Chain A
Amino acid sequence: VTGGEALAYLADREAIRALVHACAAAIDRGDPDAVHACFTSDAAGDDVPEAGSTMHLVGNHLASIDGSTAAAETYVLRHHLGPAGSVQRVVGLRWLDELVRTDGGWRVRRRQVIVEFERARPVAS
């Protein structure tokens, strides 16, 4: 592997990682335009919850690139927020993304959301 090839690969990996993180942040901001910008125009994007109602904590991220397509798996802890800074629910989920390189950079063309667990956190009185 030449230095140039290594850098090109690292740039792709970082772009994919950054895209997944940007999507999580845009969901939390309640910014549907920014969320949809992470997906190809023919992809079904996430429903965007109201701003300030979730906090997505992104963890394990693995991606494999095959030419102009890629597959990524990302672990997410989705915190559903309640009144007065409370957490009502924590959902552990995996995003299984198929990505494609477009003229505008990497985009998610298909996202499968797999819920692993859900924990209710009653609002503190």
Chain B
Amino acid sequence: VTPAGLLDRLAVREVVLRYARGVDRRDLALVASCFTADCAYEGTLASGSIADALAALPERLARYARTMHFMGTQDVRLDGDRARCETACVAHHVLPDGGLTTVGVRYRDDLLRGADGWRICRRAVERVWSA
């Protein structure tokens, strides 16, 4: 393990956490900055490209007064300028009437290191449980 490798592992984990920050703060530019422009996306927002998912995000977020994407487990595998990161998340959705829904989500991300750092280039989102 080299210092550069440790920086990479940290940077990869941070991309996914910045996604959560962007969504929870309704900072769509921050959300978009976590992905490559041609990122493939398969999940709860869209099936196809990240552009479709980002386009669907504002309407989805409008359903909730607030969200908190609480992330724990992050399993990172580095391979040069590529990485995989699997993240377990419990998403808390506060409804406009004050109610709360809780969803267990697994993000499977492939990341690429580019000129501007690590970005997600493929994402699969699995809704694992809800309560």
Q: Which residues of A contact B (CB under 8 A)?
A: 1, 3-4, 6-7, 9-10, 13, 59-62, 73, 75, 77, 92, 94, 116-117, 119
Contact = CB atoms under 8 A, between A and B. Distances in A.
A116 B14 CA distance: 21
A92 B90 CA distance: 11
Contacts, number: 52
Contact of B6 (A6, A59, A117): A6
Interface residues of B, number: 21
Interface pairs A-B: 7 shortest CB-CB = A6-B3, A3-B3, A116-B68, A59-B70, A92-B68, A7-B3, A117-B94
Contacts of A9: 7
A92 B70 contact: yes
A116 B3 contact: no
B66 A77 contact: no
Contacts of A7: 3
Contacts of A6: 3-4, 6-7
Given A59-B71, A119-B100, A10 B21 contact: no
B90 to A, nearest CB: 8
